[in-house]
Amino acid sequence: MSAMTTLAATDPSLVMSVPEQILFWTVGAIVVLAAFALLFSKRAVVTACAIVLVMVGLCFLYFALQAPFLGVAQLVVYTGAIMMLFVFVLMLVGVDISDSFIETIRGQRPLGVLFGLGLLACLGGAVLKSTMPPVQGIPQDPEVSNPSALAEILFSNYAFTLEITGCLLIIAALGAVIMTHRVRLTKRITQGEIAAIRLRDGMRLTPPPAPGNYARHNAADIPALDAGGDVIEDSVPTVLRMRGQVHRLKGVAQDLLPDEVPATRRPDAVPPAGDIPAVAETPQQLAAEAEAQGRKPEAGEGEVKS
**Which residue in the set 120, 199, 257, 276 belongs to the binding site for other proteins (CB under 8 A)?**
120
55 or 224: CB nearest other proteins: 55
Beta-bridge mates of residue 231: 225
Residue 282 exposed, middle or buried by CB count within 10 Å (0-12, 13-18, 19+): exposed
Beta-bridge mates of residue 98: 43
**Which residue in the set 3, 26, 96, 125 belongs to the binding site for other proteins (CB under 8 A)?**
125
Rounded to 5°, the CA angle 6-30-100 comes to 120
60 or 287: CB nearest other proteins: 60
The nearest distance, CB 57 to other proteins, in angstroms, is 10
Interface with other proteins, residue 84, by CB under 8 A: no
- Alpha-carbon distance of 55 to 57, in angstroms, equals 5
Instruction: Give residues with Cβ within 8 angstroms of 304, minimum separation 6.
Output: 94, 96, 97
Interface with other proteins, residue 155, by CB under 8 A: no
Instruction: Give residues with Cβ within 8 angstroms of 17, minimum separation 6.
Output: none
Interface with other proteins, residue 44, by CB under 8 A: yes
Interface with other proteins, residue 56, by CB under 8 A: no
Q: Of the candidates 45, 46, 48, 51, which has an alpha carbon nearest to the alpha carbon of residue 32?
A: 51
Q: Of the candidates 18, 120, 27, 38, which has an alpha carbon nearest to the alpha carbon of residue 74?
A: 27
> By CB under 8 A, which span of 102-110, 196-204, 207-215, 218-226 interacts with other proteins?
102-110
**Which residue in the set 136, 186, 206, 306 belongs to the binding site for other proteins (CB under 8 A)?**
136
The nearest distance, CB 181 to other proteins, in angstroms, is 9
63 or 214: CB nearest other proteins: 63
**Which residue in the set 3, 77, 95, 257 belongs to the binding site for other proteins (CB under 8 A)?**
77
The interface with other proteins within residues 172-231 (CB under 8 A) comprises 172-173, 175-177, 179-180, 182
